[in-house]
Structure 1
Amino acid sequence: MDDSSLRLAYWGDPHYPRQFLNGLEGLRSEGLMLDVTLCAEGREIPCHRLVLSAYADYFHAMFCGVHSESKKDRIEILGVSAEALQQLVDYAYTSRITITTDNIQPLYEAANMLQIWPVESHCERFLIDHMSPQTCLGIWVLADKMLCTYLAEMARSYAAKYFEEVRKTEEFLELPMDFLKKYISDDDLNAMKEEEVIEAVMLWARHDLKERQKHLKELLEYVRFSHLDSEYLKNIIETDKEFAEASGIIKELMKGQSKKARSCQTFQGEILLLGGTSTDDDDEVKAQGNIYRLDTFGNCVDTTPLYILVQNSRWFAACVLGSDVIVTGGLRSLAWRYSPSLNTWTLLGLPGPARRGLHGMAVLQGQVYVVGGMSYNQDSLELFLMESTEVYDETADSWNEAAPLKQAVSNFGIANCVEKLYVFGGKISVDNLTNLVQCYDPAREEWTFVSPLPTPQNCVNACAVNSCIFLVGGQLNCVLCYNTEYDEYTEVTELLVPWDLSSATLCGHEIFITGGYNHATNTPVSTVQCFDVNSGTIMRLQDLPVPLWGHSVVTIPKL
């Protein structure tokens, strides 16, 4: 018998794990070979030591070590609810569990204590999926208790973004003092007016005034009094008894900014989505001829028709120059400049850049770069990849050739970081993706290769912050950080929903990932995901007005 026949003799039965679990559940339900009873809140749960030991590290240490419980037939499990313990034991035998808003907290706490990592992970995902202004503070407190830093930071970031809604919830009134201090001192607190912070503090204090009045002076140190209207302050000191008692510290704080108060470094900008493709009621693919204007919550605040000559172009690219949007690509060798403030379109630098699509654009040292992509031969109508790079000189209103890419590529991610351009992955043929990363140095006027991506990528998005470039979208299953200084990659956090064929833009310290395509269901998606670079967390915001993929998204600074 040769080696190949021996290898063919080994194969796996995909039904075996389920059959095995069914067999164990059958033994439990029939009361056979049971050798231990777990107890909680008066409920008794008969089970098998072997199953529990193989299922969780907590029980493995209990039954396989020198603990006295290893010899006991009846064990009291303290600190967990009976219902949660029953669910966790059932999960050991069935691999199934039901999580609801009613049982999430005791189940999460029990899974954490008993080190049931899969269930703990399911609970965290449930809390993320159900995060809202009404639940985020409770999730923050719970995650902090469970020492889940990532979930706690996500909930804190969410609460800061939605302060206007959160401060009106029941959870805000019940927020512990230590958490309230962290909350109102958060630099990311999205308070439109500082009066809202004062009102929130007073609302919290009055909810249990007898107990909380002693904290009022300390909390007021976190308010930016320099941002408050003097007449407003004078009025509440004269009319509000609680404030009158704290008038001394208020007058002291009004003289200068408290060291505990928030900073004022908030980026002001708005997000524009241009073009893209969606699906109508008949499931027919159609182009979207609109510009959608989003606020930093993902809300669509305005819709404007896309300029007809751009609207009829496929796979254009866009970038921001000053406070305007530059658009290139499609079937015409033209470039357009869009002024959002005036809602006007003007031709840019005739003749424009070469006819191309699926390319990239970025601004480097005040100049617009158009890079790579795909074009077609007008005679044979065959598509071909492009390696050319063109630069727009705003002073001369003209386009010039720059050094070509080392590798012709389309469908890539592009970013300007530390005065260099970086091109990530893309297509090097119709069917082949690449993990190559190309870097352009304007001082040397040449492209070079840097460390490749961990895996080949198509349609990835790149956003630069300081000396790092954050990659999202494409076939990535997480936010990937490329450090240009060390030329290395780090995985940051997993995506929340499908994001292939999405677009992304940096607004302040947040990356907004808009739309995309779900290949599992063959449908475009309308989700907006927001990745906070400072906290390393990602959250889901309001959906787009329509499902959208293959669009361009940019951030316009508010001057």
Structure 2
Amino acid sequence: GRLELKEDNIECLLSTACLLQLSQVVEACCKFLMKQLHPSNCLGIRSFADAQGCTDLHKVAHNYTMENFMEVIRNQEFLLLPATEIAKLLASDDMNIPNEETILNALLTWVRHDLEQRRKDLSKLLAYIRLPLLAPQFLADMENNALFRDDIECQKLIMEAMKYHLLPERRPMLQSPRTKPRKSTVGVLFAVGGMDATKGATSIEKYELRTNMWTPVANMNGRRLQFGVAVLDDKLYVVGGRDGLKTLNTVECYNPRTKTWSVMPPMSTHRHGLGVAVLEGPMYAVGGHDGWSYLNTVERWDPQARQWNFVASMSTPRSTVGVAILNGKLYAVGGRDGSSCLKSVECFDPHTNKWTLCAQMSKRRGGVGVTTWNGFLYAIGGHDAPASNLTSRLSDCVERYDPKTDMWTAVASMSISRDAVGVCLLGDKLYAVGGYDGQTYLNTVESYDPQTNEWTQV
């Protein structure tokens, strides 16, 4: 027989087919509804699928809702949801939103739609908003908002968020579900160039946490190995490196919005194996090798003047150095000085133009990945001697530096050794991307959760 599926009979057909366990009819109805999904009806379809036990349809409708959340909250269906359903939405990490303010504004719109009835649910629902991640001025406005002023539970939540801003040194103790950013608000991770099986790669890929997918983005203008990368003014800077033959001083800049490359003024010194980081506006190019010798010099790019200037040199030449910014200082970690890999660490204060030695790591590390989280510095992977040295070992070890105590502590090791590993913070986890394990150049990724001290494959 034939069944005609139309918008006005589909719900009745699907519920009857579910009741009679007519699996082919159920499948046809679900496929029909999947094609009908729109920001104005996806919440209703999601709820209906849940009630009928249609798990595939529920999953597709839920994913559609999350993907199109900005449009969904502008529709009548959202305003008519009961508080229990609003709570489920607000608890999700997967909604596609630019920032947490969007979610708060959506909640307030929903409450005001039926203020008398919904005011009593406000504090319960506000607990699902990641208030500590809102801007301080936004929190100040909230405190004075009549909706929150007379609600003690709301005031407690606002105070918790303000403490998070006022006491940055206590943030490790103030972690909670409300301090964990939603996946779409953490930004994206870029993997730039590197080595594939035999040669230098020119490709750039980006990883989005919410979709858990890598997508190709662009290609560099030429081959580069052992270059530095940093983000400045929402643009990706690729600095120095070598093209296989010679060491480079050139700089190129990629704008992800316009998908265009610009050539920037070159550094004064040719450098490969350098570290690059942005501190309080300017970008620093640290150490490296110029093709002849190991470098202790450091250059600073001034984005306003559009020029490079030298700042104080490090105490030690460092190539394949790891760099990161912590508490307004630039840290240079490990690297190679020509005779050996280094345990030593030094930090630069831009206000005094001086480098200061810090506590040494427990292991020598060249090709080390360095990043920061919550007031700590992490040194990840690397190698302990040049590859020409037959006793050279690659490292899966990770150690953490606490600037308050000037001490390094070993934390959980990665699943495999990774030399020349790319590392960065994305949300509240550290990501170790690619690297070299002694046999092959890697395309695998793992992430570290500092709160559980565990590594997980991505």
Bucket of the pairwise TM-score, normalised by the shorter protein: 0.5 to 0.7
Match of 1:292 among 196, 205, 221: 205
- Is the alpha carbon distance of 1:203 and 1:441 closer, same or farther for their aligned partners in structure 2, counting shifts above 3 Å? same
Does 2:420 correspond to 1:517? no
Question: Which residue is equivalent to 1:261?
Answer: 128
- Is the alpha carbon distance of 1:333 and 1:516 closer, same or farther for their aligned partners in structure 2, counting shifts above 3 Å? closer
Question: Which residue is equivalent to 2:280?
Answer: 365
Question: Which residue is equivalent to 1:105?
Answer: none
Question: Which residue is equivalent to 2:240?
Answer: 329
Is the Cα contact below 8 Å between 1:359 and 1:373 reproduced in 2?
yes
Does 2:360 correspond to 1:449? no
Structure with greater strand percent: 1
Does 2:196 correspond to 1:278? yes
Question: Which residue is equivalent to 2:220?
Answer: 307
- Is the alpha carbon distance of 1:352 and 1:458 closer, same or farther for their aligned partners in structure 2, counting shifts above 3 Å? closer
One-letter amino acid matched to 2:349? D
One-letter amino acid matched to 1:491? A
One-letter amino acid matched to 2:373? V
One-letter amino acid matched to 1:332? L
Is the Cα contact below 8 Å between 2:334 and 2:366 reproduced in 1?
yes
Question: Which residue is equivalent to 2:27?
Answer: none
SS at match of 2:412: strand
TM-score, scaled to structure 1: 0.50
- Is the alpha carbon distance of 1:233 and 1:388 closer, same or farther for their aligned partners in structure 2, counting shifts above 3 Å? closer
How far did 1:232 drift? 2.5
- Is the alpha carbon distance of 1:277 and 1:298 closer, same or farther for their aligned partners in structure 2, counting shifts above 3 Å? farther
Does 2:336 correspond to 1:427? yes
How far did 1:275 drift? 0.7
Q: Which has the higher contact order (CA 8 A, sep 6+)?
A: 1
> 1: CA distance between counterparts of 2:274 and 2:366?
12
TM-score, scaled to structure 2: 0.60
Is the Cα contact below 8 Å between 1:482 and 1:489 reproduced in 2?
yes
How far did 1:353 drift? 3.5
> 1: CA distance between counterparts of 2:128 and 2:377?
31
> 2: CA distance between counterparts of 1:374 and 1:530?
30
- Is the alpha carbon distance of 1:203 and 1:296 closer, same or farther for their aligned partners in structure 2, counting shifts above 3 Å? same
- Is the alpha carbon distance of 1:233 and 1:346 closer, same or farther for their aligned partners in structure 2, counting shifts above 3 Å? closer
> 1: CA distance between counterparts of 2:128 and 2:274?
45
Does 2:264 correspond to 1:348? yes
Is the Cα contact below 8 Å between 2:333 and 2:346 reproduced in 1?
yes
One-letter amino acid matched to 1:495? M
Does 2:407 correspond to 1:540? no
Does 2:231 correspond to 1:320? yes
> 2: CA distance between counterparts of 1:538 and 1:204?
38
SS at match of 2:269: coil
- Is the alpha carbon distance of 1:477 and 1:352 closer, same or farther for their aligned partners in structure 2, counting shifts above 3 Å? closer
Compare CA radii of gyration and give the structure with the larger one: 1
Question: Which residue is equivalent to 1:231?
Answer: 76
**Percent sequence identity over aligned pairs:** 23
- Is the alpha carbon distance of 1:428 and 1:205 closer, same or farther for their aligned partners in structure 2, counting shifts above 3 Å? farther
How far did 1:262 drift? 4.8
One-letter amino acid matched to 2:229? A
Is the Cα contact below 8 Å between 1:473 and 1:503 reproduced in 2?
no
Is the Cα contact below 8 Å between 2:396 and 2:415 reproduced in 1?
no
Question: Which residue is equivalent to 1:4?
Answer: none
How far did 1:234 drift? 6.2
Long gaps (5+) in structure 2 = 1-41, 55-71, 89-113, 134-180, 242-246, 383-393
Question: Which residue is equivalent to 1:400?
Answer: 309
Question: Which residue is equivalent to 1:415?
Answer: 324
Long gaps (5+) in structure 1 = 1-194, 208-226, 280-284, 377-382, 542-559
Is the Cα contact below 8 Å between 1:292 and 1:300 reproduced in 2?
no
